[in-house]
Structure 1
Amino acid sequence: MKPTTILVSSALAAVVAAQDLYPGLSNVNHTCVIKPQLLSCPPQNPQLVDSCCTETYGGLVLATQFWSTYTGLEAQGQKLPKNTWTLHGLWPDFCNGSYTQYCDLRRQYDPVPSPNTTNGLPNGTVVPPYTGPSISTFIESFKRYDLLAWMNTYWVNQGAPNADFWGHEFSKHATCYSTFQIPCYGPNYVQNEDVIDFFDTTIKYYQRFPTFAWLQQAGITPSNKTQVTLSDVQGALTKAATAVPYVGCSGPRYNETDAGRGSNDTGRTVISEAWYYMYVYGRPQDGVAVHVNATGSSSSCAKAKNALWYYEPTPSSVQS
């Protein structure tokens, strides 16, 4: 999930309101291997290139991860993987760092849309809650049981079933890529093929950013006793990823803690997220990416020395 405030440039506002990113897109002539792989940012003009073969809508791609200490559904067997951050999503921001969401309500599989309108405002188009079969059944229909097992291991939700989270990520984000539009799959499209393709692609990028291992190599490991410094965390991830990621924190603000009382540092103090930014050549599905620094703020965390908690997971919340 992403902050629910939606930022959409005026030039794209009319497109966002449509059910398709590019209405009237043909389902023929998308043989991407015979077309040049163009970089997604600066944005390519969809009237001049094939938007099924070059990402022309969400050109700034974010591979995002969570660090959690529990799931809330341990009794149902939903637990965290050991020694790894979990997969959050693959988000299509505009090249200027703004973004939109829920771009095709015909492919809305989110049981609890957040936000519940397409523009995040009361006057936006309502995103109706999905009440159909779990999105996990889409995976089963393709006999991709290995994929389903992997996702239940590493793409883990907190406070609700994993599949609810997968439905949210697809509906809110995947529908806002030009290259995941249904006509891009040609006249022989199989229902929900785009969903499976998005899951495969998201996992491809997640595996490129082993956040836990990178921090561990820098001597930064989860602890309930010792705090860490943002510059050390971000420095280790920047060195490994070759670009500055966004590091997100939750929990109390530093100036609300005993150690930070009276400080002007209002950053949060519990490490919880990492976002890696990229431009892509051709389709995101192709996996040819250029790592770039985070746009805007690079962290919501406190900057003071040893201000951050990188907590250990609850032992009973970790998969055996």
Structure 2
Amino acid sequence: MACGIPSINKLARLAFGGAQVILNNNPTVSGGSLQACSNPQLSCQNTTTVENLCCFNHPGGQLLLTQFWDTHPPTGPEDSWTIHGLWPDHCDGTFDASCDHRRNHRNITQILRAFGKHELLTDMHMYWKDWKGNDEYLWQHEFSKHGTCISTLNPECYDEYEPTQEVPEFFQRAVDLFKDLPTYQWLAEAGIEPSWTKRYTVHEIQAALSKHRNGSTVTLGCRRGALDEIWYHFNVRGSAQYGQYLASDPDGMKSRCPDFGIKYLPKSTGRVVGSTKRR
């Protein structure tokens, strides 16, 4: 059994310790079942040593759901941000990368189809876009560089492990989180909309997003003064696949935007604003 897997198949929000919790209530496991966890601690907030890293994300204790706003070339729907990835950061802002070269899979689409994740693939083709048009490469890169560094996704965390079963669970978790973080809608509600002429401040953007996260801020990314990336930070109680995600402030100083005069450009090929830097 998985650590703290609820029985209802939907996303729910809970109040926990004064912070927003995003909980994935999807008990479907792709192959073998996760090891059972008893009273898992909250990552980056534990006061005692945790030895079972199948129930506790470490050293990548803070998980980041990262989103793109690509405008040249435009990627994804005009009224939606797209997914960059799900990253495990150390609790100080540093991170590991490419932790298991044995799981450097080059056939993500085939793996997802083999596990019957057709709806997930449809969502990924819509929202998990590569700016050069090679979505498969981006998916491969994100799992090999970041997914293999999430301790609770390690094969030894599963009973009767079925090879590659952690792959669809990584992508499903990321897509589910993305759907519960509608950046475009939240910004639009605050009057922050794509424009060639309007300019915004860091304070305005942070206020528009933090109100949906019980005050927790995000990391903003800009290129040539234009907003192009947002990182949502979470501490997690239990596994990355099925644990409770609590909104958290950034674990390090990372923002790359000026305080004032931030552009939020439309997704249009009409003007060149530069390509997006990839992590």
Contact kept in structure 2, 1:270 and 1:311, CA below 8 Å: yes
Q: How far apart in 2 are the matches of 1:29 and 1:159? A: 37
1:167 alignment partner in structure 2: 140
Further displaced range: 292-301 or 55-64:
292-301
Q: How does 1:253-272 map to 2 (within 5 A)?
A: 269-272=225-228
Deviation at 1:164, TM superposition (A): 0.6
1:83 alignment partner in structure 2: 79
Report the residue type matching 1:145 in the other structure: H
Contact kept in structure 2, 1:228 and 1:308, CA below 8 Å: yes
User: How many residues align structurally?
Assistant: 238
1:51 alignment partner in structure 2: 53
Q: Output the TM-score relative to the length of structure 1.
A: 0.69
1:194 alignment partner in structure 2: 166
Deviation at 1:288, TM superposition (A): 0.7
Q: How far apart in 1 are the matches of 2:164 and 2:109? A: 11
Deviation at 1:45, TM superposition (A): 6.8
Aligned-pair identity in percent equals 33
Q: CA distance change for structure 1 residues 197 and 45 in 2, over 3 Å: closer, same or farther?
A: farther
Partner of 1:240, secondary structure, is coil
1:67 alignment partner in structure 2: 69
| 2:3 is aligned with 1:31 | no
1:3 alignment partner in structure 2: none
2:125 alignment partner in structure 1: 152
Q: CA distance change for structure 1 residues 90 and 297 in 2, over 3 Å: closer, same or farther?
A: same
Deviation at 1:149, TM superposition (A): 0.9
Deviation at 1:62, TM superposition (A): 0.8
Report the residue type matching 2:154 in the other structure: Q
- Given candidates 109, 128, 138, the residue that maps to 2:111 is 138
Partner of 2:211, secondary structure, is helix
Report the residue type matching 1:40 in the other structure: S
Deviation at 1:44, TM superposition (A): 7.4
Q: How far apart in 2 are the matches of 1:207 and 1:270? A: 24
Which has the larger share of strand? 2
Tell me the alpha carbon deviations over residues 119-159 of structure 1, each in whole angstroms, 9 at most, x when there is no partner: xxxxxxxxxxxxx5x32111122232211111000111111
Q: How does 1:1-320 map to 2 (within 5 A)?
A: 31-33=35-37, 35-42=38-45, 48-71=50-73, 79-109=75-105, 132=106, 134-186=107-159, 188-242=160-214, 243-251=216-224, 269-297=225-253, 299-304=255-260, 307-314=261-268
Q: How far apart in 2 are the matches of 1:231 and 1:191? A: 46
Q: How far apart in 1 are the matches of 2:256 and 2:203? A: 12
Deviation at 1:70, TM superposition (A): 4.1
Deviation at 1:291, TM superposition (A): 1.2
Q: CA distance change for structure 1 residues 218 and 29 in 2, over 3 Å: closer, same or farther?
A: closer
